[in-house]
């Protein structure tokens, strides 16, 4: 799918503001960012509300979308939409909520009655709640509503793991430049595959690299320690939005976000008691509730707004006739990490309710392709300490045990219900790979062959490849990883994946990419076929 020539890129240049006092360096900011900062400073001094953290869109359907923003003070949110980038005609006004301290001055507005398969331009306007005539500078964005016919191509990107292992926003390297590169790919949306923040990863102002260079991080008060309070979790999400590349990316590309462990702390599971002197809060469930609230406040996920306990992190995003994306939550409903050798495991990594939901929704789906967005891989062994395991695989190549039992049940269901077009996408392990699973190589053989594609990190430490567990018969078709543990993004540039679905043939093409390095691996799958090697 060829990038659109003008509709997005010309819109966003110089349109986003930065928080006052956080222009990071002349080399990083450039004239456009300096000018935007000056305009924002003027609005701050004038007492008008300012959307300094940009805007996001998400939950895109054929006729609706959710738009997010954050104000620097109490404000009323409004969104104007138009089919015209210049807003010269067809302007509609959508009323949004009051943005106050209860949600850290964040909020979302639902846009309805939109035309399908069209480019929608929008601008967020914040007004003084006591004087609607006093408004801040509009912040602009754009998105495409989902198509209703199969003629439209689909493109989306995925990756995970941002600001981890001590590597944050480095002004001397241009910040998170990979997001600018991804923006130019003009995708329909971005699947953010977990570890969207590192709440357990404090940042130092400078870190020495092995070759003698110094990595310089932008630092904030909330990133000086592990996150425990709601304010500290919120500050971790705000930290990433200090980066201009990320804000421009979000203003142009809708985000479909899921979480994994580092939104709370490394390798957490429900009921865990923390044995770590850095934490004064020892109950991980308390931390998870605060992290969940902050996640719902800082992404356009309406079901999680306000920290609602009934809101589900797992969900399905439908993108026209060609694609359904099933976003899993492999963290909230899991059992405790263990050696994973038990012969019965009714909770597993998904929990019984989520497993039943996934089986039901996969059976109902009529999309050509059913992407299962898993925040953790299936066949890659991910240890948690010396004897426990963090993901599904536990290193025993035999019949399914532990969490593998639940995955075996799911794979059996997919085969016996003749559900075609399933593809697994994941991140978490900090390298990129393409793994093919086949029953003839497996200890458990009652499933149809499938592919699992791995990407990330998008901005964190890179690690060597992990070993595979043979229970489901995986074979690596491609892998690229760091030579040693925790290589910085300066030494091992970020990875991201790209999926293109052709409207005419329905073929799905996966490309594994890295920042500045082009395509590393390509695989094209044909619709309706099973066991494509």
Q: Where are the domains of the chain?
A: 9-143, 154-525
CA pair distance 467, 510, nearest whole angstrom = 22
Helices in 138-229 by DSSP H: which ranges? 177-183
The confidence band for 5, taking pLDDT boundaries of 50, 70 and 90, is very low
Residue in this structure with the two tokens 């400078």, named with its chain if needed: 206
Is 522 buried (19+), middle (13-18) or exposed (0-12) by CB count in 10 A?
Answer: middle
What is the average pLDDT across 337-364?
98
For the segment 385-392, the average pLDDT, to the nearest whole number, is 97
pLDDT band at 309 (very low <50, low <70, confident <90, very high): low
Contact status, residue 256 vs residue 192, Cβ threshold 8 Å: yes
pLDDT digits (tens, 9 = 90+) for 15-55: 333 443 343 433 344 444 455 555 555 655 668 999 999 99
The answer for 362, left when phi > 0, alpha when psi is -120 to 50, beta otherwise, is: alpha
CA distances (Å), origin 506, targets 86, 106, 378, 523: 34, 39, 26, 14
Tell me the CATH number for domain 154-525. Answer: 3.60.21.70
Separation of alpha carbons 164 and 487, rounded Å: 11
Mean pLDDT, the chain, rounded, equals: 92
Predicted model pTM? 0.92
- pLDDT score recorded for residue 151: 86
CA distances from 66 to 95, 180, 459 (A): 12, 22, 26
Region 9-143: CATH code: 2.60.40.380
Tokens 């006729």 label which residue?
Answer: 63
pLDDT of residue 306: 61
Cα separation, 340 vs 334, in Å, equals 12
Least confident of 303-317, 323-337, 501-515: 303-317
Task: Please answer whether residues 158 and 373 qualify as being in contact, where contact means their C-beta atoms are separated by less than 8 angstroms.
Answer: yes
Distance CA 125, CA 67 (A): 12
Sign of torsion over alpha carbons 79, 250, 183, 147: negative
Q: What is the per-residue pLDDT for 46? A: 64
For residue 423, pLDDT beyond 90:
yes
> Which residue in the block uniquely carries the two structure tokens 């142009």?
252
For residue 31, the model assigns a pLDDT of: 45
**CB-count exposure of residue 270 (10 Å: 0-12, 13-18, 19+):** middle
Torsion angles phi and psi, residue 201, rounded to 5: -120, 85
Whole-number Å distance between alpha carbons of 467 and 347: 25
Q: What is the mean pLDDT of residues 304-316?
A: 76
The two tokens of residue 131 are 């004087």
- Under 8 Å between Cβ of 205 and 217: yes
Backbone phi, then psi, for 33, in 5-degree steps? -70, -40
**3-class SS at 303?**
helix
State yes or no: pLDDT of 308 exceeds 70: no
* Predicted confidence (pLDDT) at residue 462 exceeds the cutoff of 60: yes
The answer to whether the peptide bond before residue 400 is cis (omega within 30 degrees of 0) is no
Q: Are strands 189-193 and 154-159 parallel, antiparallel or unpaired?
A: parallel
- Token code pair at residue 31: 């004239």
pLDDT score recorded for residue 11? 35
What DSSP element (H or E) covers 354?
A: helix 352-364
Residue 444 in contact with residue 507, Cβ under 8 Å?
A: no
d(CA 347, CA 349): 7
Distances (CA, A) of 392 to 14, 331, 337, 412: 45, 12, 10, 16
């Amino acid at each position: 799918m060829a990038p659109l020539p003008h509709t997005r890129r010309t819109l966003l240049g110089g349109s986003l503001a930065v928080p006052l006092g956080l222009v990071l360096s002349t080399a990083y900011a450039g004239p456009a960012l300096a000018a935007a900062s000056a305009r924002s400073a003027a609005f701050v001094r004038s007492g008008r509300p300012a959307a300094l953290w940009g805007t996001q869109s998400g939950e895109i359907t054929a006729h609706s979308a959710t738009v997010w923003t954050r104000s620097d003070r109490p404000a009323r949110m409004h969104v104007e939409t138009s089919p015209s980038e210049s807003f010269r005609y067809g302007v509609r006004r959508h009323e949004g909520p009051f943005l106050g301290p209860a949600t850290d001055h964040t909020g979302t507005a639902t846009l309805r009655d939109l035309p399908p398969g069209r480019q929608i331009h929008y601008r967020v306007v914040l007004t003084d709640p006591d004087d609607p005539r006093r408004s801040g500078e509009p912040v602009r964005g754009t998105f495409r509503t989902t198509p209703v016919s199969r003629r439209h191509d689909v493109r989306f990107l995925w990756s995970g793991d941002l600001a981890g292992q001590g590597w944050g926003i480095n002004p001397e390297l241009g910040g998170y430049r990979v997001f600018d590169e991804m923006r130019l790919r003009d995708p329909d949306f971005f699947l953010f595959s977990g570890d969207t923040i590192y709440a357990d990863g404090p940042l130092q102002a400078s870190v020495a690299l092995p070759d003698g260079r110094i990595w310089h991080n932008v630092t904030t008060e909330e990133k000086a320690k592990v996150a425990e309070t709601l304010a500290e979790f919120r500050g971790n999400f705000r930290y990433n939005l200090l980066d201009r590349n990320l804000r421009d990316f979000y203003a142009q590309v809708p985000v479909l976000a899921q979480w994994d462990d580092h939104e709370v702390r490394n390798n957490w599971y429900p009921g865990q008691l923390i044995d770590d002197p850095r934490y004064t809060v020892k109950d991980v469930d308390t931390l998870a509730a605060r992290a969940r609230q902050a996640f719902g406040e800082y992404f356009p996920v309406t079901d999680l707004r306000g920290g609602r306990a009934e809101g589900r992190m797992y969900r399905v995003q439908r993108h026209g006739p060609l694609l359904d994306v099933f976003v899993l939550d492999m963290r909230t409903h899991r059992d405790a990490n263990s050696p994973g050798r038990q012969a019965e495991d009714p909770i597993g990594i998904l929990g019984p309710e989520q497993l039943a939901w996934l089986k039901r929704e996969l059976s109902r789906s009529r999309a050509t392709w059913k992407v299962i967005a898993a925040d953790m891989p299936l066949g890659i062994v991910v240890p948690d300490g010396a004897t426990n395991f963090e993901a599904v695989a536990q290193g025993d190549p035999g019949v399914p045990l532990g969490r593998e039992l639940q995955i075996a049940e799911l794979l059996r269901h997919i085969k016996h219900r003749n559900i075609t077009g399933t593809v697994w996408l994941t991140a978490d392990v900090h390298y990129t790979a393409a793994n093919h699973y086949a029953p003839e190589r497996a200890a458990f053989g009652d499933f149809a062959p499938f592919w699992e594609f791995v990407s990330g990190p998008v901005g964190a430490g890179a690690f060597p490849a992990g070993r595979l567990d043979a229970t489901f018969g995986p074979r690596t078709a491609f892998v690229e990883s760091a030579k040693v543990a925790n290589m910085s993004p300066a030494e091992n540039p970020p990875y991201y994946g790209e999926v293109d679905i052709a409207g005419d043939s329905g073929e799905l093409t996966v490309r594994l990419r890295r920042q500045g390095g082009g395509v590393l691996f390509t695989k094209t799958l044909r619709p309706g076929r099973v066991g494509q090697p």
